[in-house]
A = this chain, B = another copy of it.
Amino acid sequence: MRSGKRAAKLTAVHPAESRPAVDLDDLNNRLGYFVRRVQVWVFQDFIRRLSGVDLSPAQFSVLVVIGANAGLSQSALAATLGIERARLVRLLHGLEQRALTQRLDDADDGRRHALHLTRDGRKLLTRAKALAAEHEAALKEKLGPERYRMMFEAARGF
């Protein structure tokens, strides 16, 4: 029912009985507080659902971006995802030890590494993307379709 009318006021996501009767005071007026709560739920659900492929949200995002941008540099990857270059080094080291990614020498610039997925990396990423889609569906169900759509429209592209 794609309504043209204003949707009914949204209520709390968590059932009342699981919420302690404690006054949040100013936190009720802090968007960041609720964004943080959503993000914590997202990470917990994501990590649980991707435990079979043993990928953290950060590792998943790294594989996705390398998969769609073969040959990009670590600096470009770090800047894209907002990860510190220093942290990316260890993260890639872990993925490389599992033979999911490769660091090849860049032909044009001797300082750079050209990042690629291995055959195993591509296969694992395919499985991981399917699990990530299940997580996305769970998030949509948790929020409800109206709230999910609204939050996505507001957050997309940030």
Q: Which A residues fall within an 8 A CB radius of B?
A: 10-14, 20, 22-43, 46, 57, 61, 64-65, 67-69, 72, 76-77, 79-80, 82, 129, 132, 135-136, 139, 143, 147-148, 150-158
Contact = CB atoms under 8 A, between A and B. Distances in A.
Given A27-B64, A32-B135, 17 more contacts: A10-B154, A20-B80, A25-B68, A31-B139, A31-B151, A31-B152, A32-B42, A32-B46, A32-B136, A33-B61, A35-B155, A37-B155, A37-B158, A38-B155, A143-B158, A150-B151, A154-B154
Contacts of A34: 152, 155-158
Listed from nearest, the 10 A-B pairs whose CB atoms lie closest are A12-B157, A25-B68, A32-B42, A151-B154, A34-B155, A150-B154, A23-B68, A22-B80, A39-B39, A13-B158
Nearest to A68: B25
A26 B148 contact: no
Given A69-B23, A72-B22, A132-B26, A82 B37 contact: yes
B80 A24 contact: yes
Contacts of A150: 150-151, 153-154
A24 B81 CA distance: 9
